[in-house]
Structure 1
Amino acid sequence: MKRRPFIKLSSAATAGSALLPVTKWLPDEKIKNWAGNIIYSTSSVAYPKTQEEVQAFIKNHAKLKILGTRHCFNRIADSKDYLLSTKQLNKVISLDTQAHTVTVEGGIKYGELAPYLHEKGYALPNLASLPHISVAGSITTATHGSGVENGNLATPVVGLEIVTADGQVHTFTKEKDSDTFNGVVVGLGALGLITKVTLALQPTFQMRQFVYERLPMDQLKNNFEKIVSAGYSVSLFTDWQNNSINEVWIKSRLDDAANSNAKPNFYGATAATKNLHPIAEVSAENCTEQMGVPGPWHERLPHFKMGFTPSSGVELQSEYFVPREQAMEAIQAIARLGKQISPHLFISEIRTIAADNFWLSPCYQRPSVALHFTWKQDWPAVSKLLPIIEKELAPFNARPHWGKLFTVSPQVLASRYDKFADFKKLVAQYDPNGKFRNEFLNSTIFSS
């Protein structure tokens, strides 16, 4: 989008923040999220370049929210007052080759960080389906990739710094802060701005991926664990129109001898003969390389390339996490809704995530399977479908993705998180006056 010249609001900025211009776009230049379904309630955005600028702005404003790469589909990052963008907080601060960790500013994107790590001989254990998202935004919402032994993107975090409501910097580490650390990491933006993150690393590795088409649902039912464990990272795509999985994406390390070549038959599915997009009608140009072509981890773990528009682009997203041992029951429950769902759907993705100990992670203390829905951008229709889906998934205590669309009530959400009350107390400790709260947090977290 071509932007018009902006107006600096230096006269309107509060004392102490003059060093940090706030930009305001002209009225027709509304700020939207990545998919365009959310127009933010303010067009006043600060773009700090240093931690000191972050501290000054937060200290001198009564209400604000943190804005990352704008990949959330609900109003978790919205504000009627001010937005503080992490766009320019995107540097690698240090690489510790002794501790095998990297410390970065929270606004850096995985697509920027990963090539740097690979060049230095390191890797992260997993990535999400697209590399366009920021580190801080991903970990604070428990965003994830796939793999039965892979946790969400917050699991490599061993330390972080947060500027809280009083403008002070607080450091939390996995080693020293024990249980509090687990409450802070997946913080939903409620505690402040994450300025620095320290991530544990592993040696870099090469990968390949093969795609298989038309996996019979009966085969999935009878061999679920074997299928989702068939590679380092496995994704199942379906539109729920037929009694089958449209595509199975298996991403494997090069040292995985079992997946060195495509199998002619994978539990009744056949090997693809060309690169595919998860949405059959869309060109695979934007997708990472398939057909077993080797490449570095960061060019195979995501589904989409950094330089291209991922997925459909103009879409809505919802996602629900269920216990892995109940995955097939949940999948079958959704399959029964196929005729209702499919007219409004681009594609669904089914992924596995290992358990973790973060208080508000949807995978808190339970290995999980995520049922993801990429919807056509028709909110009136989707808003009617979500309660139906949530009712079907209620027996499995499904937890929704915090950054996507859902209608689960605050009372039900609270009942599905053992540490819900503890999290609210933690937020009150660091933000007693609700500086970082907004309508989403007030209605979803603090009304229960």
Structure 2
Amino acid sequence: MTLERNWAGTHTFAAPRIVNATSIDEVRALVAEAARTGTRVRALGTRHSFTDLADSDGTLITVLDIPADPVFDEAAGAVTIGAGTRYGIAAAWLAEQGLAFHNMGSLPHISIGGAIATGTHGSGNDNGILSSAVSGLEYVDATGEVVHARRGDPGFDGLVVGLGAFGIVVRVTVDVQPAYRVRQDVYRDVPWDAVLADFEGVTGGAYSVSIFTNWLGDTVEQIWWKTRLAAGDDELPVVPESWLGVQRDSLTAGNLVETDPDNLTLQGGVPGDWWERLPHFRLESTPSNGDEIQTEYFIDRADGPAAITALRALGDRIAPLLLVTELRTAAPDKLWLSGAYHREMLAVHFTWRNLPEEVRAVLPAIEEALAPFGARPHWGKLNLLTAERIAEVVPRLADARDLFEELDPAGTFSNAHLERIGVRLPR
């Protein structure tokens, strides 16, 4: 028997059965079977998680092989598409239609359903997380029936970032907009003092901004600006050659620690289609480093300078285990389990070397440093926050749990992880 692992190889799935569904009817039959036999099922996406969140003691059902069948509703300005479709594949189709998503995550390899269910975000002070663009869900409920939920329905804001806790989402409706272009520029070795003195201005300097650091020294290693251009506009707005005392990097091939430059999207200010610049990595390349552990926390952006200062004090402990930290931002939203729920969000992301014991040993110090700022966890990434602590920092957790219990009273879609963190009731 071949052991099934997540994409980075850091989690081995314990589920005794994994089924690659090829149709919605097949998903319905599998869920109905579970309901009859009193067993559990969970949706499994592109396996870009670092815990047992997507695992089960029953059946895992992937929806990746269900046809995408994208449908554009011009009146609604939205596209309905298969939940298992990878963002990069969907983006390429949209671009052919002259359309675009408002933002993308760093990896175009992840599935739409998995990304929205866990609150994956992209970047930009004025950009909502990817889930904020969702206006409709089609999911298979605990009886095996297909349910259509729409923005404005009671409880809809609790379903979007839903962790697979209430059903298996098979199709998603996402707001889209006319296509645009983006240029990507890099500034290196920017002084921390300058960044923290105008943190809001730095993170809002472009349409999407990423700050990369190893937490050592007096400078930020790299800041990536992704500047939005009108379609066909290669000239405006002007990106400064000198900013915060450093020169703009003219190199088109970027670099991150232990990442092949050919895996990254084009930099150096060369304009390109939105879907070929907003992600950090190319769809046809290895996503990220590939042999890693990821952790991420969300705080209020106003607390950014204080939180960064607290983490810099831990730099000597963090850096030896770290590939890179990325700081990104997002606009507030109304989604109950979103890291940006009702606050302007700063995401503090750690890409660790694949050293599980050492990483777990340093996480308590990081979580203690971020505790005064009400840090919320990324649901799909490794953290050590207790259910009690999560309940304190996620205001609508109890409401979400009540909703999931109402929709799935037998716990068909629950698992040990969801029960451990308080998203579902223990069984």
What letter corresponds to residue 228 of structure 2 in structure 1? Answer: R
Q: Does 1:138 align with 2:118?
A: no
Q: What is the match of residue 23 of structure 2?
A: 50
TM value normalised by structure 2: 0.95
For the 8 Å contact 2:254–2:267, the answer to whether it is kept is no
Q: What is the match of residue 321 of structure 1?
A: 298
Q: Does 1:197 align with 2:172?
A: yes
**Equivalent position SS for 1:171:** strand
**Equivalent position SS for 2:189:** strand
Q: What is the match of residue 102 of structure 1?
A: 79
What letter corresponds to residue 149 of structure 2 in structure 1? Answer: F
Q: What is the match of residue 32 of structure 2?
A: 59
Distance 1:38 1:355 in 2: 32
Q: Describe the shift of the 1:143–1:376 C-alpha distance in structure 2 as closer, same or farther (beyond 3 A).
A: same
**Equivalent position SS for 2:27:** helix
CA RMSD of aligned residues (A): 1.6
Displacement after TM superposition at 1:301 (Å): 0.3
Distance 1:395 1:289 in 2: 38
Gaps of at least 5 residues in structure 1 are 1-26
Runs in 1 of length 4+ with deviation above 6 angstroms? Answer: 256-259
Displacement after TM superposition at 1:279 (Å): 2.0
Q: What is the match of residue 9 of structure 1?
A: none
Displacement after TM superposition at 1:93 (Å): 3.6
**Equivalent position SS for 2:209:** strand
For the 8 Å contact 1:288–1:303, the answer to whether it is kept is yes
What letter corresponds to residue 404 of structure 1 in structure 2? Answer: K
Distance 2:235 2:266 in 1: 19
Q: What is the match of residue 264 of structure 1?
A: 241
**Equivalent position SS for 2:131:** coil
Displacement after TM superposition at 1:311 (Å): 1.5
Distance 1:280 1:68 in 2: 27
For the 8 Å contact 1:237–1:278, the answer to whether it is kept is no
Q: What is the match of residue 220 of structure 1?
A: 195
Distance 1:270 1:184 in 2: 45
Distance 1:393 1:181 in 2: 30
Q: What is the match of residue 6 of structure 1?
A: none
**Residue-by-residue CA offset, 1:46-70 (whole Å, 9 max, x unaligned):** 1222211111110101212110000
Displacement after TM superposition at 1:278 (Å): 4.9
Q: What is the match of residue 403 of structure 2?
A: 426
Q: Does 1:147 align with 2:120?
A: no
Distance 1:158 1:380 in 2: 41
Gaps of at least 5 residues in structure 2 are none
What letter corresponds to residue 352 of structure 2 in structure 1? Answer: W
Q: Does 1:206 align with 2:176?
A: no
Q: What is the match of residue 34 of structure 1?
A: 7
Distance 1:362 1:48 in 2: 30
For the 8 Å contact 1:314–1:377, the answer to whether it is kept is yes
For the 8 Å contact 1:189–1:436, the answer to whether it is kept is yes
Match 2:377 to one of 390, 400, 403: 400
**Equivalent position SS for 1:162:** strand
Q: What is the match of residue 5 of structure 1?
A: none
What letter corresponds to residue 245 of structure 1 in structure 2? Answer: V
Q: Describe the shift of the 1:43–1:31 C-alpha distance in structure 2 as closer, same or farther (beyond 3 A).
A: farther
Q: Does 1:296 align with 2:276?
A: no
For the 8 Å contact 1:214–1:270, the answer to whether it is kept is no
**Equivalent position SS for 1:366:** coil
Q: Which has the higher contact order (CA 8 A, sep 6+)?
A: 2
**Residue-by-residue CA offset, 1:208-251 (whole Å, 9 max, x unaligned):** 11011001100011111111111100000001121211001000
- Which deviates the most, 378-387 or 417-426? 417-426
- Mapping for residues 226-375 of structure 1, pairs under 5 Å: 226-255=201-230, 260=237, 262-375=239-352
- Which deviates the most, 90-99 or 200-209? 90-99
- Which deviates the most, 199-208 or 280-289? 280-289
Displacement after TM superposition at 1:274 (Å): 1.6
**Residue-by-residue CA offset, 1:313-332 (whole Å, 9 max, x unaligned):** 10000000010111111111
For the 8 Å contact 2:87–2:112, the answer to whether it is kept is yes
Distance 2:395 2:325 in 1: 29
Displacement after TM superposition at 1:259 (Å): 6.3
**Residue-by-residue CA offset, 1:382-414 (whole Å, 9 max, x unaligned):** 001111100000000000100000001100101
TM value normalised by structure 1: 0.91
For the 8 Å contact 2:106–2:280, the answer to whether it is kept is yes
